[in-house]
Structure 1
Amino acid sequence: MQFHQAQRKKAKLRLALTGPSGAGKTYGALVVAKGLGGKIAVIDTERGSASLYSDIVDFDVLELDPPYTPERFLEAMKAAEAAGYSTVILDSITHEWSGVGGCLEMNDALAKAKFKGNTWSAWNETTPRHRAFIDAILRSPMHVIATMRSKTETTQVEENGKKKVAKLGMKSEQRDGLEYEFTVVLDISHDGNIALASKDRTRLFADPVRLSAETGQLLLEWLESGKDPAQMMAEEVDMAIEAMRGCDNLGSLQGIFAGAWKRCDEVNKARLKAEYDQLKSALETKEQAA
């Protein structure tokens, strides 16, 4: 185990937009994608709703039909990656969870077919399939914007002697905890299409915002302001080589090399290995002479 200085890398966007039906999730996703720039792909499970906005944003669409299994979403994302899109919009990933053929239906079917109706046991097979879908979002070389339907939770409160309905917040129709996987989660309300951050690693959304192309530009600036990953890796290998050169025994040399090798990319492995082999040979010769 070896600690190294934390530095923020350049990254791709992982944005989730949640809200009730009609709040403007699709529109918001499209205008943010417009601000990010590049080619936009939309994987549409909402029966062509994205295409209603084709006059304000240029994009290509794949209208995904049931069953909404994780594998169907994975196949669509791979097609978007292969076609060279810069941003993919998943509208919406609620269907992967609770839609026709989604995880909930899939799990019930598995329980009946293989586990004598035991849905808890069936999750042992369903969860890895759902996890593969989430991992694909996290690993994608594209910016990913996902929309999720949500239900508004309300309660009755008394104010100035009068009873009124107050909103307690919104619960996304997806697996609990999914929001932790995204860089930013914005909840969109019916009231003026205003977005409020429920999670924000960028620290750009302290105040409510109306989504626009400028929002996408702002996010892109933040994403690009990190250090270049290739440069960071080269610098890390330089530090590892410098540390190896200071070793006076094989144990220390091998320990530093092993730690650096695990993190090293293919571009720098040859350089790291060549230096290690040379230093290892020199130390072996020194030990034999002693």
Structure 2
Amino acid sequence: MFKKATKQSIKIRLAISGASGSGKTYSALAIASHLGSSIAVIDTERGSASRYADLFDFDVCELNSHHPAKYIEAIQSAEAAGYQTIIIDSLSHAWFAELELAGKGFDGWKNVRPLERKLIDAMIGSSSHIIATMRSKTEYLMEEYQAKDGKTKTAPKKIGTAPIQSSGIEYEFDVAGEMDYNHLLTISKSRCSELSDRTFLNPGKEVAEILKNWIAVPLAPWANWKSQEDALVWAGQELPDLSLEDLQAEWETLQPLNGKKAPAWVERVNQLKHPF
């Protein structure tokens, strides 16, 4: 029923929100280009991703219908084709479609919520990395600045606020961040501790490398063993207080684990290392 938890099947789930012009699409492509060798873009932004075709290598599917079922179909198609990373640009259009399907009354949401859940499940359960962009509401903040004449003046500054999306959608992702008009990504939610509360100007390779290291599966200790002697040398490094004779005696009495002696040896060494 239970099995040891590993990172072997983990895929990245990244959400990037921001107002129009903040650099969501470019950043998604820049990060994706360092995650894997093949990228599929599900484009609902009327070809915005294709403007970067000279900078990044990717394939695109332009959705004319923004019904959640069309998103799901595109995600499944990209998975079946073997793309390592799928960019959804933008997820907000699915939310607009859901609002339209639900109408003005509460009763309409009874049919829409299951559709929304199916789309979320398609993203979370995907065998590919998923990067989803989301539009955020554009608001203006009055900001003071020093004029050339030395006087302090105020001027409106565009800022992006909450994503235009179902409330709490960011919690479905491993990492979520917001882009501002200076192309600065601020991480607001992260299961990867190395990314928590950090900022990245023009995010790309650095973010991708951190994410790849986070989900990386370490090599098994026996990956480079070629003989019993290699296994004993490794055990000696793990258990410096035991003599070679003691380790050889342990090896001779070892029972294979599922027909294999190497993983059984690692388990036995760990038992000796942590007896309680």
Q: Provide the TM-score with structure 1 as the length reference.
A: 0.66
Residue equivalent to 1:173: 164
- Residue 7 of structure 1 and its aligned partner are, at CA, apart by 6.1
Distance in 2 (CA, whole Å) between partners of 1:47 and 1:59 is 16
1:168–1:40 Cα change, 3 Å: closer
| Residue type at the aligned position of 1:176 | S
- Name which of 184, 193, 206 aligns with 1:194: 184
- Deviation, 1:213, is 2.3
Q: CA deviation at 1:162?
A: 6.9
User: What are the superposed Cα offsets for residues 90-146 of structure 1, whole Å, 9 maximum, x if unpaired?
Assistant: 000000011xxx1001111xxxxxxxx6x2111111100111000100100000000
Following the alignment from structure 2 to structure 1, what is the Cα–Cα distance between the partners of residues 192 and 144? Answer: 37
Q: CA deviation at 1:167?
A: 8.0
Partner of 2:125: 139
Give CA-to-partner distance per residue, 1:125-174, whole Å, 9 cap, x none.
11001110001001000000000000144555899997676888611001
- Contact 1:148/1:172 (8 A) holds in 2: yes
Give SS of 1:129's match: helix
Shift of 1:218: 2.0
Q: What runs of 5+ residues in structure 1 fail to find an aligned partner?
A: 109-116, 229-267, 269-290
Residue identity opposite 1:200 in structure 2: S
Aligned to 2:171, the other structure's residue is in SS state helix
Aligned partners of 1:223 and 1:29: how far apart in 2?
18
What RMSD in Å do the two structures reach over aligned CA positions?
2.9
Q: Is structure 2 residue 35 aligned with structure 1 residue 44?
A: no
Could you tell me whether the CA contact under 8 Å between 1:16 and 1:145 is conserved in 2?
yes
Q: What residue is the counterpart of 1:70 in the other structure?
A: 68
Matched, 1:216 2:208: yes
Partner of 2:100: 105
- Distance in 2 (CA, whole Å) between partners of 1:9 and 1:164 is 51
Task: State how many pairs are aligned.
Answer: 214
Corresponding letter in the other structure for 2:68 = P
- Whole-Å Cα distance in 2 between the matches of residues 75 and 202 of structure 1? 29
Distance 2:193 2:156 in 1: 31
Does structure 2 conserve the Cα–Cα contact (< 8 Å) formed by 1:202 and 1:222?
yes
Distance in 2 (CA, whole Å) between partners of 1:48 and 1:216 is 24
- The alpha-carbon distance between structure 1 residues 5 and 77, as it changes in their structure 2 partners (threshold 3 A), is closer
2: CA distance, partners of 1:4 / 1:37: 28
- Alignment of 1:150 onto 2:136: yes
Query: In the TM superposition, what is the alpha-carbon distance from 1:38 to its structure 2 partner?
Result: 2.2
> Which of residues 87, 90, 104 in structure 2 aligns to 1:89?
87
Tell me which amino acid in the other structure corresponds to 2:216: E
After TM superposition, the structure 1 = structure 2 runs for residues 110-129 of structure 1, keeping only pairs within 5 Å, are: 119-129=105-115
CA distance in structure 2 between the aligned counterparts of 1:223 and 1:215, rounded to whole angstroms:
13
CA distance in 1, matches of 2:38, 2:170: 26
| Aligned residue identity for 1:103 | E
Instruction: Select between 213-222 and 135-144 the one with higher mean Cα deviation.
Output: 213-222
The whole-number CA distance in structure 1 between the counterparts of 2:61 and 2:168 is: 27
Report the structure, 1 or 2, having the larger helix content.
1
Measured after TM superposition, the shift of residue 51 of structure 1 is 0.8
Alignment match, 1:246: none
Counterpart position of 2:173: 182
Consecutive unaligned residues of structure 2, counting only runs of 5 or more, are 147-151, 221-257, 259-276
- CA distance in 1 between counterparts of 2:20 and 2:118 reads 27
Match for 1:73: what amino acid? Answer: Y
Judged with a 3 Å threshold, the aligned counterparts in structure 2 of structure 1 residues 162 and 138 are, in CA distance, closer, same or farther, namely: same
Deviation at residue 201 of structure 1 after TM alignment: 1.0
Other structure's SS at 1:36 match: coil
Instruction: Give me the identity figure in percent.
Output: 42
**C-alpha offsets along residues 39-86 of structure 1, whole Å, 9 cap, x if unaligned?**
1000001111101111111100001112x1110101111110111110
Whether the aligned pair in 2 keeps the contact of 1:39 and 1:59 (CA below 8 Å) is yes
Q: Distance in 1 between matches of 2:55 and 2:143?
A: 41
Report if aligned partners of 1:10, 1:227 keep a CA contact under 8 Å in 2: no
* 1:16 corresponds to: 15
Equivalent-residue separation in structure 2 for 1:37 and 1:157 (angstroms): 41
8 Å CA contact retained: 2:175, 2:189:
yes
